[in-house]
Chain A
Amino acid sequence: MRNPTATKLLFEMSCAGRGTQVFPESDVPEVSGLAAIGAEFLATEPLPLPEIAEPDVVRHFVNLSTLNMSVDSHFYPLGSCTMKYNPKRHERWARLPQAAGSHPYQSEAQIQGLLSVLYELQGMLAEIAGLPGVSLHPAAGAQGEFTALLTAAAYFRDRGEQRTRVLFPASAHGTNPASAALAGFECVQLAGGRDGFVDLDELRAQLDERTAVFMVTNPNTLGLFERDIRQVSELLHSVGGLVYIDGANMNAILGRTRPGDFGGDMMHYNVHKTFTGPHGAGGPGAGPIAVRDFLAPYLPAPVVTWDAARNWYSLSVPEKSIGKVRTFFGNVGILLRGYFYIRTLGGRGLREASENAVLNANYLLSQVKDFLDVPHGDRCMHEFVASARRQKEQTGVTTMDIAKRLLDYGFHAPTVYFPLVVEEALMMEPTETESLQTLNAFAAALRAICSEPADLVRGAPHTTAVCRPDEVNAARKPVLCWSAPEC
């Protein structure tokens, strides 16, 4: 039951004088003889932070949490995000003292255990990618893209080449063009074929000596394996360009095929997706990259190396490194969860995970295709994109309406309106950690919604705490911060 008193804003709950005793009195003597901080640096007023006692803090956040849907509580088929189960065991291991409590300026000698794990992880990610050079630094997929593009740029510069353009299909995730622009490249978007695949002729026409990188998600964002990926790669290589594989969809192909084997020169992983770091209400993630041998000398600094003779792990700077992309080593807490996951499943388990992810997605597709359009065929990899264009035409019910109505049935919505190349897109990724019963129940709910009265669906959700926030007004007159009511 919602408790409206407890879910008031923290600032409205605040009451002067309340609080929680957390810290002790000082146990050190006052000292003199050192320069004191001058008044010009000192705060003149107490901070305007809210004052709340711990029991109220707890009740507040516990009540807020109940307003969320999550993987732990609901089926969450958010396409492209791989919302699989987040094993609880990882949480305990990530809290082990060397993992949770190591300071980044700790000496190598003090973190040999941690470095050994990170070193092993580099090797595992290289093996899964079929690409030998790995950097664990990037904080998420987007930063992985950016880092890899800078790595490629450093390689080109070293060869005396001026390559200025990055290409990607229209179905690309928004981070692809955004990362390319951030890295100082000119962005060239390709329309792609009607069938959802890269159009080789279109690609060929755009390639020349200015081409740096072609970024492609494989399986692509329509859930299709780019069957001509080998030719794509040959085309790029024939003009001296490189192929970047956006690895957001690795959950489809673990142990079945590898980016390095199908022509990719570099890629990122989304550890929070494929290797199940919890998504943390938006993050953190980890976006390690894997690259071909000739790109490895340019990777960001440092990488973990191992001296077999001394059995010693250390941090070293690749020969021609692009430098640092973040202050400290990487999102180690998430990388470790990825490592735990890979160790738990092993090579065979990863392959089975992908098999089950693909089986579940195809099964779900088979259960919805008679009432929802699936414009790109009735086979998919680990996800597929349906379209509510028929519903919109016939009854005015849109993808957004269906998504909202699903919440009433106790399911999180799929990804909606992405990729941009599908009208009224509903991108569904069930993942492997869902049972036949769950998939059946979800398909049944979707089917029911598609035959419900349009008004009912357009008015959804009916059971959630709020219904259809006014986004237009929010954006016209943004209120991004609470402020004290004027008295």
Chain B
Amino acid sequence: MAYLFDTPEQRRVMLDAIGVESVDELFRQIPQDLQLGRELRLPEPMSELALEQEMQQRLGAVSARGVCFLGGGVYDHFIPAVVDEITSRGEFYTAYTPYQAEASQGTLQAFYEYQTLISQLAGMGVSNASLYEGGTAVSEAVFMAMRVNGRHGRVVVAGTVHPEYRQVLETYFSRLGTEIVVIPPEGGVTSLEACRRALDTNTCALVVQQPNFLGCLEDIRGLTESAHAAGALSILAFDPISPGMLKRPGDYGVDIAVAEGQPLGTPLQYGGPLLGIFTCRSEYVRKMPGRLIGKTTDRRGRDCFVLNLQAREQHIRRDKATSNICTNQGLLALRATVFLATVGPRGLRQMATLSHQKARYAASLLTQIPGVSLKFPGPFFREFLLETSMRAEDLLPALSAEGYDVGPAPGRFATAGLAGLERCVLVALTEKRTRQEIEGLAAAMTRVLQRG
């Protein structure tokens, strides 16, 4: 045992108090024939020092990794030191769900602040205290739309929505008989005409993304109006950095806005744990999935915070709960709270603007390379789709070998709506990328394409 507590004498005291001879006796509750009777076949125990040395070898090396121009929902953003400092405090880190309000006011107030910050960021009435990640948040949004308007037959999804969000949606709804209708993109965006055709009187919701998976900007207001005209809800997946520069989901009048919150202070961690942001109009609050923190007063009239509207949740409503989620992504929500409090409105604006300017600079350099162009000529925010003379599956490893990681390539997803993009790759920029790195990428791509 790595963590030693009681001496043999103390164990004896405990066994005597219980009234048994040995620990084995306690395990007699397990029928003998079900007991394992051998040791688990696992590696030998390791000391802290020895395991650290091994892990440094196995997880410490990044020599194969290039400069990160990767996007597709999570991005290599800067995280101020204060985020790590605060969130690694054990008082937050090693607490659990704030069931005992008096012993959890720190957590509760921080999550109330999180809900407010996210509502401000999204321009929406109410935010919950987190879901697992962006993709499942989309599925939860569709479930909620069904609860709101009672329509179960169909959900219409733009083909420009992240293909892996759509794959998650397919899995979540695979047994429920709901038809998932995908609108094929036209010129990198969703046509209002095609959208209107897909929406019917059985459609619970329209799901769109801004900026969309291909980096393009959609006519969210028009799409939302089409959804509303058909009696469906409008669900928008947004980039949580974009409100630093672009309109917020609420500005377009959407009903539910979700996001992958990773850009707000969470490290990449190979895609998890991340932060599922979930917001909606205030009137739907009792249909929301996940935890909510509310403000109230205590017995002595002092302002305080408490888990609120728990009757929606699984521990009370069980099979009729608005979601099965229990453990959520609290710590990542705390990271986003500290992050937003630290960078403030100007910092977020700078992040968005820097990412955008660098994306434009990168696009302008890269499109000067012979055979390279923007797949879609429209405006983009911080990520754009590049078409080259090479197949993406050849280009990306060659660029990595040169020290630049680019992607993903939409062609890798066997998903409706992404056909014909075999020579395309996404390039994503954040405030972290320097001019030198961008120029280095352009030079590397020139070399790779010249080699052919």
Contacts and interface: CB of A to CB of B under 8 A. Distances in A.
In which size bucket is the chain A interface? 35 or more
9 contacts: A64-B107, A67-B106, A76-B95, A142-B324, A323-B170, A329-B270, A351-B39, A363-B17, A468-B102
A150 B174 contact: yes
A49 B90 contact: no
A481 B127 CA distance: 8
A113 B59 contact: yes
Interface stretch (A179-187, A202-210, A385-393, A445-453): A179-187
Contacts of A30: 357, 360
Contacts of A31: 360-361, 363-364
B423 interface: no
A70 B42 contact: no
Contacts of A100: 267-269
A482 B116 contact: yes
A286 to B, nearest CB: 8
A465 B74 CA distance: 39
A350 B77 CA distance: 38
B41 A347 contact: yes
A86 B17 contact: no
A106 B117 CA distance: 31
Interface string B277-315: 000000001000001111111111010111011010111
B431 A23 contact: yes
Contact of A327 (B107, B260, B363): B260
A9 B109 contact: yes
A329 B269 CA distance: 10
Contacts of B260: 327
A343 interface: yes
Contacts of A103: 68, 70, 74, 76, 268, 270-271, 405
Interface string A332-361: 111010001011111111111101101110
A22 B342 contact: yes
A417 to B, nearest CB: 9
Contacts of A180: 319
Contact of B1 (A61, A139, A352): A352
A480 interface: yes
B341 A280 contact: no
Interface in A41-93: 41-44, 46-52, 54, 57-58, 60-62, 64-74, 76, 78, 81, 83, 85-87, 89, 91-93
A425 interface: no
A54 B244 CA distance: 19
B31 to A, nearest CB: 6
B56 A104 contact: no
A430 to B, nearest CB: 11
A308 interface: no
Nearest to A355: B23
A81 B100 CA distance: 14
Interface string A278-311: 1111111111000000000000100000000000
Contact of A41 (B94, B246, B321): B246
A61 B363 CA distance: 40
Given A73-B91, A280-B92, A326-B272, A66 B106 contact: yes
Contacts of A97: 59-62, 65
Contact of A96 (B60, B134, B302, B435): B60
Nearest to B378: A35
Contacts of A322: 171, 174
Contacts of B354: 23, 26
B43 A343 contact: yes
Given A43-B246, A404-B102, A435 B91 contact: no
Contact of B326 (A174, A184, A436): A174
Interface string A135-152: 000011111011000100
Given A28-B438, A356-B6, 4 more contacts: A175-B326, A270-B327, A280-B95, A282-B328
Given A34-B364, A69-B104, A328 B270 contact: yes
Contacts of B120: 47-49
Interface in A392-445: 403-404, 407, 412-413, 415-416, 418, 432-436
**Residue from A128, A184, A363 with most neighbouring chain B CB atoms (10 Å):** A363
Contacts of A116: 58
A96 B56 contact: yes
Interface stretch (B47-55, B191-199, B200-208): B47-55
Nearest to B97: A282
Contact of B119 (A26, A92, A481): A481
A476 to B, nearest CB: 10
Nearest to B426: A105
A230 B304 contact: no
Counting chain B residues whose Cβ lies within 8 A of the other chain, the interface size class is 35 or more
Interface string B69-103: 01111101010101001101111111111111111
A92 B34 contact: no
A182 B323 contact: yes
Contact of B175 (A20, A150, A474): A150
A328 B318 contact: no
Interface string B321-349: 10111111111111000101111111111
Contact of A345 (B1, B96, B340): B1
A444 B249 CA distance: 55
Q: Which of B13, B221, B299 has the most CB of A within 10 A?
A: B299
A209 B104 CA distance: 47
Interface stretch (B159-167, B226-234, B444-452): B159-167
A480 B112 CA distance: 7
A47 B249 CA distance: 13
A146 B246 CA distance: 36
A139 to B, nearest CB: 4
Given A101-B267, A102-B270, A116-B58, A68 B104 contact: yes
B351 interface: yes
B15 interface: yes
Tell me which of B1, B167, B357 has the highest count of chain A C-beta atoms within 10 A of its own C-beta: B1
Contact of A143 (B73, B132, B304, B343): B132
B180 to A, nearest CB: 12
A332 B270 CA distance: 7
A100 B266 CA distance: 10
Nearest to A321: B171
Nearest to A412: B103
B160 to A, nearest CB: 15
B347 to A, nearest CB: 5
Contacts of A42: 245-247
Interface string A97-141: 111111111110111111011000000100110000000000111
Given A345-B2, A352-B1, A478 B294 contact: yes
A471 interface: yes
Given A67-B106, A347-B39, A327 B165 contact: yes
B100 A326 contact: no
Contact of B13 (A23, A272, A416, A436): A436
A89 B43 CA distance: 18
Contacts of B132: 139-140, 143, 284, 326
A69 B60 contact: no
Given A178-B314, A225-B29, A351-B40, A58 B82 contact: yes
A278 B93 contact: yes
A78 B100 CA distance: 10
B116 A481 contact: yes
A349 B1 contact: yes
A91 B88 contact: yes
Interface string A151-179: 00100000000000000000001110111
A241 interface: no
B46 interface: yes
B358 interface: yes
B361 A28 contact: yes
Contacts of B27: 256, 355, 358
Contacts of A91: 88
Contacts of B408: 105
Nearest to B57: A113
A49 B348 contact: yes
